[in-house]
Structures are given as C-alpha cells and as structure tokens.
Structure 1
Amino acid sequence: MTETSSIVLASSSPYRRELLKKLAVDFNCCPANVDETPRPNEPPTDLALRLSVEKALAVGSIHPAHLVIGSDQVAAFDGEILGKPGNRERAVAQLQRQSGRVVSFYTGLCVLDSASGQYFTDLVECEVHFKSLSLQQIEYYLDIDRPYDCAGSFKSESLGIALFDKICGEDPNALVGLPLIKLAGLLKKFGVDVLNPAAG
C-alpha cells in the first residue's frame, strides 16, 4: 500500500464515523449497498463477517487503490438474530424481552486493499448484561435516545449505557459498531501504523 493511498470507511453510519476519528487517520466515507438479509441457518458470527467483507468489496470496487474498512454488527439472543427495531413498538418489545438477560453482539471487521484484492478480517464478541427494566424505564429511555436504527434497541454511547449491569468484551468500541483495537492491528498489516503514521 502506498503513502498516497487513502482510507475509505464503507459505511454511512455516523456512529462508525465518529469512532474512526479516534484513530486520527484521514478517511472518507462511502455507504456500502449490500443486502444484509441473513442466509438460511446462517450463524450470527458468519453473518457479521460475511457482511463486513461484502461491504468492503462493494466499496472497493468503486475506490481502486484504497484501504477500505468494512464492518457489520449482528446481535443474537435466545438463538436468533435480532434486527433493528425500526419503530417504537418493536423497540419496546425488544427491550422487554432482553430485560434481565444477556445479549451477544458480534462485530465483524474487514480491511481490504482494493488495488490488490487482499483483505484481512477479524471478529469481536461483546456480551451485554441487561438490568431488569420496567416498562416505565424502557419508555423513558426510548423517548431520550430513539434507538430505532440500532440492533438491540439501544445506543451504548449515550443513555443506553444505563440499561446494563455490565458489558463483557475485548473492545468497548465494538459495541458501538467498530472495534478499534482490532482495526488498528489490521491497518498495520497494510503498513498503516496509527501511532507512527510517518513510517507508512
């Protein structure tokens, strides 16, 4: 990868954009138009990794000679994949079901060199332990954060953090949607050291 090559985040998510800014690298954003429908009996780990690769490849096809970052998050609970609620009614139902329980979040990550087609992937799991929540607490929370575009019906980067007893995982950023610890390692494989950018 050459010094003049730039980084593209294959996402339109404002949450991922804000996270990537933490690594102090120059980057652009480009939404990835991929079908996120799970395949029949596809495990959540496989889905998260597959979609992260597909997003990177889709954006890489229109951004040659770039490093493209693809990421996708899948929530799993009681053996099934949790989708984004989309509206208040479904968000209430999701949070009521998750109350007092543990939900697993799998965040897939792919860094692609679109010039060569080479890419590396990784996966981070976070376990979210929910407090026992009353309907009043759930409704108040939804009034504040309106997390209808978020799997699991919460935003951990804001008031949603108060819904939990604890979070277990390698990287707190992964729960928001972009595992920065793993990402820094994958970028280094392509010669991008976020702690020593002049060495690239």
Structure 2
Amino acid sequence: MIRLGLTGSIGMGKSTVAGMFRDEGVPVFDADEAVHALQGPGGRIVAAIEEVFPGTTGAEGVDRPALRARVFGDAAAFARLEAIVHPAVGEEREAFLSRHAEASLVVLDVPLLFETGGDARVDRVAVVSAPLEVQRARTLARPGMTVERFETILGRQLPDAGKRARADFVIPTGGSLDETRAAVRDVIACLAGRTGG
C-alpha cells in the first residue's frame, strides 16, 4: 500500500481534489470529516472538549463558533484543543488503514500534514495549490470568513511555496476542473506499480 498524503492551504481546493481521487476509486481518509464526526452529536471527544472548554458543547455536539471564539488567537488554548483532537483523529486514521489494508493506494487528506509531522506517516505527498488571489477569493467567499480569520489561519499553516517545495506532486487548482482531474490521474498513474517506503 502506498499512503499518499494530500494537503494544501485553506481555499486551495483540497476537498475537490480529494473527491476526484474518490471518483477514481482511491480510498480517501478525510481528517476534517473525522474531526466533524468526533465533535458531532454523540462524538467521542465531545465530553473531553466540554471538560476543558466548558459551555462549548450541547446536544448537537461541539458548538464550533463558540469553541472557535474560545481558542481564536490563544495559542495555549489552541494547543489544549489539539491535544484532544489529534490523538483521536490518529485512531480514526489507523482504523481507516485497517479497513483498506488490501488497497494499493490510499489518500490521507490532512490539511496540516507538514505542520503536525504527518508527512512522516506517508510515503508520498501531493500538495494542492492555486495562485494567492484565487485562494483568497475562494476563502473570503466562505460564510462567516473574515480577512482577520483568513490571515490567522494562514499564519498557522506552512506557506504554499514551502509546501510545494516539500511535495512529491503538486496538483494545480487555479485552472479548469478538467485540468485538475488530469493532474490527479497523472499522480495515480505515476504511483501505479510503486511500493511504499
């Protein structure tokens, strides 16, 4: 099995690219999706988050805006949250890998792959990248997004140029969907027949 880490800064089109890998029959582990499930109704880290950040959860799980307000701009609080979330996501990832043990290629979609040292757990890395003006426009079009929040998120992420420099593959998303899909297929073809390591 080849474990391909898929990453990219906010607004680069990573979710779209992950969907293209799925369309090609490649199993994809979505770290963000795992976090949503873990923090959703009945999620297994809801109680731990409530204990550390009282008043940020309810019947629907974690109140994401309330939790965001508690950790925004507070590095220590953010680190406490990560200490709850990251190990649980790691367990979900291992369960995914066990379920797909027979696959020759899997994608691990991890937004902060380099920032969390996740690149050490994959065989190859693909970075999704678009020009800064495209990234900015996509991100600021999201509901509730502000320039301040966008810049704070960027500040926690390795710059795009740094990600591209460390990647085995760069998947451009600044052009058409067909061009991006062709790049995804090129990555899959390139990895076909290779072994991890």
TM-score (norm 1): 0.32
